Chains A and B, each alone.
Chain A
Amino acid sequence: MCGILGLLTTTGTQPPFETFLAALDRLKLRGPDDSGTSREDGLLLGHRRLSIVDLSQAGHQPMESSDRRFVIVFNGEIYNHADLRPRLSPQNGWRSTSDTETLIEAYRAWGVRCLDRINGMFAFAIWDRTEQTLFVARDRMGVKPLYYSNKNGQFGFASRPGALNMLLDDGALTIDPEALRVYLEIGYIPAPLSFHRDMRKLPAGHYLLVNARGVRRVRYWDFRSIKPDPSMNSRPEGELVEELDALIHSAVKARLMSDVPLGAFLSGGVDSALVVAAMKSAGVSHPKTFTIAFKERAFNEGPAAARAAEHLGVDHVHETLDVNSLLDLLPTYIQEFDEPFADSSAFPTMAVTRLARRHVKVALSGDGADELFGGYHYYPLIDRLAPLLGWRTSNKRAAQQLLKSLPWHRTKLLAGALQSRNTVALFHYLRSVGKDYPTLLNGDIAHSTAPSETWFAQFATSFAMDLSAAETAMRLDAGLTLPDLFLQKVDVATMAFSLEARCPMTDYRLVEWAMRLPARFKLRNGETKYLLKKVLSKYLPVDHVYRPKMGFGVPLAQWLRGPLRTWADELVHDDTLMSRVPLDKKRVRELRQQQLAGERESHPLLWSVLMLLCFVQSHDARRALPVIAYREVA
């Protein structure tokens, strides 16, 4: 896990090298152990290293291929690199045990087809000195981020948008109106959008080829068109349980590759417990596991995690916090998410990372299982609501009137859901942060941009035929929400403390298998993650496996009325700050008033606005500073 940065100048002048170094310094927390740069005609490459595999200087980057034709900067891990080595023949033999060397030799041997053979999480760039072409790739599920920009004869890329913005635009902020609209509607910015107008996020499973002719973006892997396999319906359930267990085991075992201490996040839920169980069966006798417990019962997964740890026989570490103490992490949240990001579960993620980093440098996490195996509460709801979307308009209208007349906000939201034209629209409505709230954008932006739903609709056009409504929703989550919301959260939150997170559930073999698995093994009679729970039942008592899902939440609505009240009020009433964003001030302040009055569940939308304002404020403040002051990791 590292940070990478690069700039290819085909026309025009390069920025000063000091600017490049300052931008690279923005990635320091991603790689505090080492840094390196390379300069050649028209190309600057930079790397910040978090040493995990081959801790020696032999793993230093940028790294050249054995024939010196290629040079690489790489962020991530190639889990099957040891398996690939016997098929590769570097000139003069291997120089290190680093997966970086394996990757560049794989590219030397197989070109872009190396992507079909590697299994890992990665974002990397390889410069071909002979062809004068830059090859930039991101892993299949989007575990590692990569941003790029191509304008005025300069192609730049970076692990984080802040570094790239500093490199190319001297930190000037030009907001992409479409990204802003999407962000306010769904709380995050899906690839290829980026908050900066001239910047793009490379979508998961894509690569770029950059040369004097231009930039070409190509998708190299895609789960969307994989059909559910009806023959799995007739197989004995026990056989499927064993097959899934073996796949998880294999994915976890591959992710144990490390030359530094390694542990796992353990909540009271299904996914992390499965990962830890697989670690045990893969030969880690006493894996270290980490949990944040809260004093408030409503948020406290500590006891459940402790029980799971006891059953699994692991070395469990937990820290009990007052939930309000998470607010200490607000400055880190604002600083490290260097584009607006409105998922408040980043707080507990950062807290558990902070705890884990005191003991290990790598932690496995269960992220990805909910999207692949049907873990979210709204999947059964979507299956139930989808048939109603085909009702006659008059019947739908009558049902909506009835629901709206009821005194509960949730029935009003349900009435809104019935307005959806199709499953994608229904999913979008249920996932959106604003739901039935009128847009907060200024009129001109609202009119000149496409609704965020069109991104979901576009992504869904390549889904396999005849999926159920819930399967459609799961694929939308797996392809859009997972990489650019949840995996981004994990990446940024763990990198803020220089800890590498690995997500076995995003192993592409597991993803492809999950796509083939028919829906009845994911949701059954309202039960979520049906088959995954069967697997966990092999390792934990049934009452633990089937306990209600808790989530990784924080009391955001209460915070905004309590400890964060003044902070939030100051932000929304700061006229200077409000003038920096194209929002309707009056509506924003109304929203704040409604949230304070508890009239509606408006805190997700309000939080999005506050994070937007914080981002702009922080961006402006940071730009005024000549040097970024980073905390050193203890």
Chain B
Amino acid sequence: MMASPDAHQDVLFLFTEVFANGGIQRFNQTILDAFGRLGIRCRVLSLNDSTPAIAKSLKNNGHATISGFGGNRWRFAQAVLREVMRNRYEWVLIGHVNFLVLSMSILALRRLHAPRTMLISHGIEVWSGIAGMRRHAMRRVDRILCVSHYTRRRILEQAPALTADRLVIFPNALADTWASVAPTPFGRPLPSRFILSVTRLEPGDRYKGIATVIEAFSMLADESMHYYVIGHGRDLPFLELVAERCCVRERVHFVRGVSDSELIALYQKCAAFVLPSGKEGFGIVFLEAMFFGAPVIAAREKGAMDVVRDGDTGISVPFGDVIAVKQAIEALVSDSALCERLRAAGRLLVTDGGPFTFARFTSRCAEVFGIDQTVGA
């Protein structure tokens, strides 16, 4: 549904994708839910979503009007131009740095009632390559939301002309919807002890550290332990080969198509959630694991360090350190007191007013967009 010319809406969102699995997509869903909660009208242009996907996935957000372009960049650019020129928005939220130059160029055409602009910087996409036109466009953005301290630091290193107060730490949060999902049994019998990873399995994503976990797993003395990797992608044959070479192929299970309710059962029963990834912008899966009581092992790298604090909310290891991963798993399996302490501290992050709850996320939204919460609530 298109907005009528010169109608007043509050925020225009320019997103890569909303209705799919992935960290950025989940962030986008969460922010739309938060705006819904605040009662702010939103117009969303999503490059990669298709209209059927939107129709299927749109649940409770009556405040958002969403259009998908099925990956058609030209149609997406036309729509951005039309929206900006025809309508008055208070804010334009640029959901990905790849849209920055396009968006700022179009916005420059609007002289009167120009909206204020905000850029969301997630992680890897802004850790390098901020130069030339992109850096110039970034200087003109009113505010940059950084999902982690590492992302903020990397942007400032590349664009030192930016004033630091324009970069706001705006961490991800556990989606509100998780609390209402009831766990269902996993589709097949689970072993008594297993560790778990949830991730994409693409050749370009080997930094997720799954091969490292497989090697560490193969060194464990407990041969009744299994390893579940939830996810899919084109790197599966390589990872299966690694498991084969480490002589643990029969105890490493690559599973795709797991529903959220099944995933909850896995989080709740696993001995440890292990994702020693080297390039997480934030790592929302850590929050999910913590919410459902899984002790977490992460790499001491980049955005994940905002969530997983070593010995406090989880165990963090140097990226790629097979021996440290093995020792961390052994510690969690053998030390129930440590395990309980980490579980409890992890859960505090995502419950009861913790920093990564949906309620806190909504408050942060209201704060950065200058929204009076008493009006929307």
Contacts and interface: CB of A to CB of B under 8 A. Distances in A.
Nearest to B221: A216
Contacts of A192: 245
B323 interface: yes
A458 B320 contact: no
Contact of B211 (A216, A222, A458, A464): A458
A213 B219 CA distance: 14
Contact of B320 (A220, A225, A421): A225
Contacts of A225: 318-322, 324
Contact of A224 (B203, B245, B278, B320): B320
Contact of B207 (A216, A218, A421, A465): A465
B211 A461 contact: yes
Contacts of B242: 458, 461
Contacts of A166: none
Interface residues of B, number: 27
The dominant DSSP class at the A interface is loop
A222 B321 contact: yes
A458 B279 CA distance: 18
Given A217-B219, A462-B211, A462-B215, A457 B238 contact: yes
B320 A217 contact: no
B135 interface: no
Nearest to B324: A225
The dominant DSSP class at the B interface is helix
Interface in B221-255: 221, 223, 238, 241-242, 245, 247
Instruction: Find the residue from A224, A457, A461, A463 having the highest chain B CB count within 10 A.
Output: A461
Nearest to B318: A225
A218 B319 CA distance: 18
B301 interface: yes
Contacts, number: 61
Interface string B328-357: 000000000000000000000000000000
B219 A216 contact: yes
Given A225-B318, A227-B318, A454-B241, A461 B212 contact: yes
Nearest to B245: A458
A450 interface: yes
Contacts of A458: 211, 238, 241-242, 245
Interface string B298-311: 00010000000000
Contacts of A213: 223
B365 to A, nearest CB: 31
A219 interface: yes
A219 B320 contact: no
B206 interface: yes
Contacts of A214: 223
Contacts of B218: 217
A389 to B, nearest CB: 13
Given A216-B219, A218-B219, A457-B238, A462 B301 contact: no
A465 B319 contact: yes
A136 to B, nearest CB: 15
Interface in A11-31: none
A224 B247 CA distance: 21
A464 B219 contact: no
B320 A462 contact: yes
B356 to A, nearest CB: 24
B133 to A, nearest CB: 19
A316 B252 CA distance: 58
Interface string B118-158: 00000000000000000000000000000000000000000
Contacts of B301: 465
A465 B208 CA distance: 11
Nearest to B317: A225
Interface of B: 203, 206-207, 209, 211-212, 215, 218-219, 221, 223, 238, 241-242, 245, 247, 278-279, 301, 318-324, 326
Given A225-B319, A454-B241, A462-B211, 19 more contacts: A217-B247, A222-B321, A222-B322, A222-B323, A225-B324, A421-B203, A450-B241, A454-B238, A458-B241, A458-B242, A461-B209, A461-B212, A462-B212, A462-B215, A463-B320, A465-B278, A465-B279, A465-B301, A465-B320
Closest 7 CB pairs of A and B: A225-B320, A462-B320, A461-B211, A225-B321, A465-B278, A218-B219, A462-B212
9 contacts: A214-B223, A216-B221, A225-B321, A421-B203, A458-B245, A461-B206, A462-B211, A464-B318, A464-B319
